[in-house]
A and B are shown apart, each in its own frame.
Chain A
């Protein structure tokens, strides 16, 4: 009896743990992006219902950037990547979060974080990420992951009960199952990466952009670690609980795939810079608040190497140095504020930063003239009283 139970347990574990990611992918005939698609199965309808509810909340969120031009631009890059027939039904929500991420709901709602827009360097790189998210949608990955999680926890529950009754140690089997779920998740991510590369190959963008994102991410991680006096590691194999392949792994297999299908020639770097120009100051302001000196210096340097040290970049750099606030940082900050003003940065906040940096460096006369100028340009500033008090001192 006990032997039978144990055998049943092992068979169930094997059935769930070793079924591949793509085998569960034929729930319905039509792809979900066809116009007015209606989900078919009970599970898919349930997932769409929850996604619809989430999307309503998301739509009304104060963090969503509603600027028409920016939204239209990101949508255009998506359409250029995956094709007009696929992209039409997708709703894109640009959310003000300063980290590199994007996600896709099973019902075709796409979330793009502003940190992604700050980090990618061309339309091709943005398209690679948007294409990856779209691939999750086209391949019904949320639904499949839900089913996989359910079958995994079903077997886990039976293992707990049957193992308890038969007094059998099932801990290794349970560990195997949990590990298999994360491996499944990594397989889906790789599948989406490779489908995104196929979209890129058929577009005007070069496919190598998909690999470059991960190279840049590793460089930024190195810079962040160096800024925090930490060691940086890049592993090739994923950890047990990793739900995505490692950055290094992605960079390698995407470069390999890109060498076989090159795609177009134009990554549209200049077009990308123009597309997000209006929002660059906001993205930078959010980024410097992360208190990631090394990583932000790296990002600013990259942006400057593409477009030169513009007023926006100089101002952001000045603010970051002033925030760190070592005596030497204040000297650098004052210099960057002055450079920003020289480079044509017109917002009065540059005078404010310049004045405060100089004040703390002991250059009171110059500081007061900069702060007076700030108050003249922005008399209704929220900190006007505090600045006036500083001037009177």
Chain B
């Protein structure tokens, strides 16, 4: 019961925090490349959370927005699958009974992505083991290779999004703060997309952004969000849009 209070207090404490600048957004395992049309990628069920940000900075979960986002993002991903350069199919639990484990892996991926952002992408905070140039050594563990429902696929694509839209009160606080020279941020929009090698459990590509665009509550916004999530996706044909228009 107290977690909101704690997160709220933390949010108030962070009220004046200066947003991190010049942070990296994309990582690639050195030497990793994908040629179009060579591998089979499974798209895992995205974890999606949408709500509002209260005046004090607390997350207010919103069931309608989350349902809309779930539908819109699924639709946008469906459309994007065709232009990703490789065979991409949506995860099916089938008869394996591994749905719960698969969803645990989705959350584990989220924790991993957070760690990469915190300890590798953010230069000032980089761990001693991650400072060497060209190092990108992250993994969700080799246990994922044992999942029967993932057999036959080469990579798994995980996607997480978290959106807290600034409430009217938060925006008012931001404006008043602005007048008084006190910086207040409004709205939180995080997204991660990452590719896991299913033969080793290693993270081979990650795109993570804590200031994502696109309003996931609308179909157009969700398309923009998915475009941003899949920016720099490996193995994509270099200029699909130009080729298609010819």
Question: How far apart sit A43 and B66, CA to CA, in the bound complex (Å)?
Answer: 13
B-facing residues in A44-83 (Cβ within 8 Å)? 45-50, 56-57, 59-60
Residues of B within 8 A of A43 (CB): 60
Q: How far is the CA of A45 from the CA of B104 in the complex (A)?
A: 24
In the complex, whether A145 has a CB less than 8 A from a CB of chain B is: yes
| A-facing residues in B29-81 (Cβ within 8 Å) | 51, 54-58, 60-64, 66
> A46 to chain B: which residues have CB within 8 Å?
51, 60-63
Question: How far does the alpha carbon of A42 sit from the alpha carbon of B62 in the complex, in Å?
Answer: 7
A47 and B61 contact, CB distance less than 8 A:
yes
A152 within 8 A of B: yes
Q: How far is the CA of A142 from the CA of B61 in the complex (A)?
A: 13
**CB atoms of A153 and B51 under 8 A apart:** no
Are A154 and B2 in contact, CB atoms less than 8 angstroms apart?
no
Q: Is the CB of A60 within 8 A of B56?
A: no
Q: Is A164 touching B57 in the complex (CB atoms < 8 A)?
A: no
- Interface range, A side: 35 or more
Which of A47, A59, A152, A161 contacts B176, CB < 8 Å?
A161
Given A150-B56, A181-B5, A160–B12 Cβ distance below 8 Å? yes
Contact A50 B61 (CB under 8 A): yes
Given A48-B63, A156-B9, A150:B173 Cβ within 8 A: no
Q: Say what secondary structure dominates the interface of chain B.
A: helix
Name the B residues within 8 Å of A50 (CB-CB).
Answer: 61
Contacts of A49 in B (CB 8 A): 61-63, 66
Q: Tell me which of B60, B63, B66 has the highest count of chain A C-beta atoms within 10 A of its own C-beta.
A: B63
Say yes or no for A219: interface residue by CB 8 A criterion: no
Interface pair B58/A153, CB less than 8 Å apart: yes
Is there an interface contact between A152 and B56, defined as CB atoms closer than 8 Å? yes
The number of residues on chain B lying at the interface, defined by a beta carbon within 8 Å of a beta carbon of chain A, is 34
- Residues on B with C-beta less than 8 A from A161 are 15, 173, 176-177, 180, 182, 184
Measured in the bound complex, the distance between the Cα atoms of B176 and A43 in whole Å is 26
Which residues in A have their C-beta under 8 angstroms from that of B55?
153-154, 157-158
In this complex, the member of B9, B16, B103, B169 whose beta carbon has the largest number of chain A beta carbons within 10 angstroms is B9
- Cβ A142 vs Cβ B56 within 8 A: no
Expressed in whole angstroms, the Cα–Cα distance for A25 and B210 within the complex equals 37
Contact B8 A152 (CB under 8 A): yes
CB distance from B191 to the nearest CB of A (A): 18
**Measured CA separation A272–B110 after assembly (Å):** 43
Docked-complex contact A45 and B63, CB < 8 angstroms: yes
Structural contact, A142 and B1, CB atoms closer than 8 A: yes
A18 within 8 A of B: no
A146 beta carbon closer than 8 Å to chain B = yes
Give min CB distance, B67 to chain A, whole Å.
Answer: 8
Contact status B63-A153, CB under 8 Å: no
Closest to B176 in A: A161
Nearest-CB distance from B125 to chain A (Å)?
A: 26
Residues of B within 8 A of A238 (CB): none
Instruction: Among B12, B57, B60, find the residue whose CB has the most chain A CB atoms closer than 10 A.
Output: B12
Q: Which residues of B contact A152 (CB under 8 A)?
A: 5, 8, 56
CB–CB A150/B12 < 8 A:
no
A156's nearest neighbour on chain B, judged by CB, is B12
A269 vs B228: C-alpha distance when bound (angstroms):
62
Assess whether B11 is interfacial by the CB under 8 Å rule: yes
Question: Nearest Cβ in chain B — how far from A145, in angstroms?
Answer: 5
Residues of A within 8 A of B103 (CB): 56-57, 60
In chain A, residues 147-203, which have Cβ atoms closer than 8 Å to a Cβ of chain B?
Answer: 149-150, 152-158, 160-162, 164-165, 178, 181, 185
A96 at the interface (CB under 8 A from B): no
A residues within 8 A CB of B9? Answer: 153, 156, 178
Question: B1-36: contact bitstring with A at CB < 8 Å (1 yes, 0 no)?
Answer: 110110011011001100000000000000000000
Q: Is A243 at the interface (CB under 8 A from chain B)?
A: yes
Whether a CB of chain A sits under 8 angstroms from the CB of B124 is no
Residue of B nearest to A61 (CB): B100
Which residues of A are interface residues toward B (Cβ below 8 A)? Answer: 39, 42-43, 45-50, 56-57, 59-60, 141-142, 145-146, 149-150, 152-158, 160-162, 164-165, 178, 181, 185, 243
Q: Please give me the 3 A-B residue pairs with the lowest Cβ-Cβ distance, nearest first.
A: A153-B56, A60-B100, A165-B180
Could you write out 28 A-B pairs with CB less than 8 Å apart?
A: A42-B62, A46-B61, A46-B63, A49-B63, A50-B61, A56-B100, A57-B104, A60-B103, A141-B1, A149-B5, A149-B8, A149-B58, A150-B58, A153-B54, A154-B169, A155-B56, A156-B12, A156-B56, A157-B11, A157-B15, A157-B57, A157-B184, A161-B176, A161-B177, A164-B180, A165-B180, A165-B181, A165-B182
Additional A-B contacts beyond A149-B8, A157-B57 (20; CB < 8 A): A45-B62, A46-B51, A46-B60, A49-B66, A56-B100, A56-B103, A60-B104, A141-B1, A145-B4, A149-B58, A150-B56, A152-B5, A152-B8, A153-B58, A154-B169, A156-B8, A157-B12, A162-B176, A164-B180, A181-B5
